[in-house]
Copies of this chain bind each other. A is one copy, B any other.
Amino acid sequence: MRRFVADKATRLIKRHSTCSPCLVSHSRLHSHPPLSHPTLPFSSFPQSSISSSLSFFISALHPFSSANFNSMSSNYSTTPVTLQTINPKVLKCEYAVRGEIVTLAQKLEQELKQNPDSHPFDEILYCNIGNPQSLGQQPITFFREVLALCDHPPILDRSETQGLFSADAIERAFQILDQIPGRATGAYSHSQGIKRLRDTIAAGIEARDGYPADPNDIFLTDGASPAVHMMMQLLIRSEEDGILCPIPQYPLYSASIALHGGTLVPYYLDEATGWGLEISELKNQLETAKSKGLCVRALVVINPGNPTGQVLAEDNQRKIVEFCKNEGLVLLADEVYQENIYVPDKQFHSFKKISRSMGYGEKDISLVSFQSVSKGYYGECGKRGGYMEVTGFSPEIREQIYKVASVNLCSNISGQILASLVMNPPKVGDESFESYNAEKDGILSSLARRAKTLEDAFNNLEGVTCNRAEGAMYLFPRIELPQKAIKAAEAVKTAPDAFYARRLLNATGVVVVPGSGFGQVPGTWHFRCTILPQEDKIPAIASHLTEFHKKFMDEFRD
């Protein structure tokens, strides 16, 4: 059955250009060549033929279809929508962070609930995703106080409120409500977000960078993902438009490029130099893409890196800015981990600060910076707040971005408020400052310790090497898998690193994401593991990993 699903998937992908339900032939206009097309990204991206099958192979495990895939689907024979007739861009899109392994983990979690002894572990540890509060991280009190007060302003004037909330949270809530037209937290806002909250964010960016920021450059969004989609939608016209993305990359980028019908142009980070970003590699990949007839529109840089955790050096960033300027590329800077730095020898510098420090202004380089309330020390993933700062685009292009934003009216107001708080937290002298600062430092210093402990644990495993997490929330260790393990994986039609990750899950309850979900140098194998489990659980995780890995190697050692 597994074979059936995987084969079917591959066949379907190969048959992009059929529009079976229509009586007319679409071949004349159809814009989706088969995967063998020389300009398509994944022909130069070996993992994907495996992972494409994988993303369908998932179907066999997902709740919806696990029951009895064949019979169930055949019952729908009279309904109009089939895998053969949906948008092939959707079919091609993949998102490993919530893919096969997670679906399996959810299944095991259900089984544990029904029977605590059904597996050799008592809980599933989700190390697959940067979702801190799901693993017990507590929200920053001040931020939540303000959000609660803005949700129910009538209590602001009540005496009991003084006893329940800090004075500066109450004051901030009043300030924020005064900044919202009609104090209406339940109204649609300006499609870029509430103007005076954007003023606050712009001031925060200015304080961070030491260079001016314009509130009209800020577009508030429901987390960073919709902002990335908006830019891809703006830039991608056809599969002949290319976007340079790091490999390994956060799969939001490959997914968004696939959904918008563009081509991912991979550039490989150098694992040997701590996931270094080499300009020569950018140049080579750009030339190769051009020689294939691609029109490369933008360069995606993730700093601090996801899944790779490196923090770019200032000098490296300058070269990247220079490269984008010279090659006429939009620089899409994913800077959502700007607060997550764990090593004294590295610092975060925004690409806007770097380009301004090089003397490049608004008219010189097109730069978009993405920020989110989901990461940092706050980790408010569920609030879906974020923004993009859009600089170096002409008024008429900004008008187009505004138009697309306006179709969805606005992002959620709580997320907008939280984004303004994150860029303007309590200051020295504010009543909440000490507790706020203690919460913040507690989280960040603990994350640094967890990163180091897990990094060391990985480096102590046979055939495993792991770069340090200088920032972000992840480690991306490399595993030398024995040929015997690779063959065993191929036998069940799965990628070797996915095979390892599934075995790890079944043995320990620890959920990681196979490297093939992020892309990796062909023939190398990795997985992404977050550093987010609470600190008291880290030693147990380390020893479970060690024990599992030893058994795995004993079983498959050549």
Residues of chain A at the chain B interface (Cβ within 8 Å): 19, 21-24, 26, 29-33, 55, 58-59, 62-65, 67, 69, 72-73, 75-76, 78-83, 85-91, 93-95, 97-98, 129, 131-136, 139, 141, 144-145, 147-149, 151-152, 154-155, 158, 160-161, 163-165, 181-182, 184-189, 191, 216, 222-223, 225-226, 229, 233-240, 252, 255-256, 259-260, 290, 293-295, 297, 328-330, 363-366, 374, 379-384, 392-400, 402-404, 406-415
Contact = CB atoms under 8 A, between A and B. Distances in A.
A99 to B, nearest CB: 8
Q: How many copies does the complex hold?
A: 2
Contacts of A226: 408
A186 B234 contact: no
Given A163-B160, A412-B384, A400 B90 contact: yes
A73 B394 CA distance: 5
Contacts of A184: 133-134, 382
29 contacts: A21-B295, A21-B328, A22-B240, A29-B239, A59-B395, A63-B216, A65-B395, A73-B394, A73-B395, A75-B363, A76-B363, A78-B364, A79-B364, A81-B297, A81-B394, A88-B237, A95-B403, A133-B187, A148-B149, A148-B151, A148-B155, A155-B165, A186-B379, A222-B384, A222-B412, A226-B408, A382-B413, A383-B413, A384-B413
A64 B402 contact: yes
A388 B290 CA distance: 42
Contact of A234 (B86, B135, B392, B393): B86
Contacts of A187: 131-134, 381-382
Contacts of A382: 184-189, 410, 412-413
Nearest to A183: B133
A328 to B, nearest CB: 4
A22 B295 CA distance: 5
Contacts of A82: 394, 397
Contacts of A139: 186
Given A72-B395, A259-B407, A393-B79, A383 B238 contact: no
Q: Which of A152, A187, A293, A365 has the most CB of B within 10 A?
A: A187
Contacts of A328: 21, 80
Contacts of A237: 19, 26, 30, 32, 85-88
A129 B189 CA distance: 11
A240 B216 CA distance: 38
A366 B59 CA distance: 20
Contact of A148 (B19, B152, B366, B396): B152
B409 A225 contact: yes
A93 B26 contact: no
A73 B403 contact: no
Contact of A404 (B58, B78, B90): B90
B58 A182 contact: no
A79 B392 contact: yes
Given A21-B328, A81-B397, A403-B55, A160 B152 contact: no
Contact of A90 (B55, B155, B189, B233): B233
A176 to B, nearest CB: 13
B399 A62 contact: yes
A234 to B, nearest CB: 5
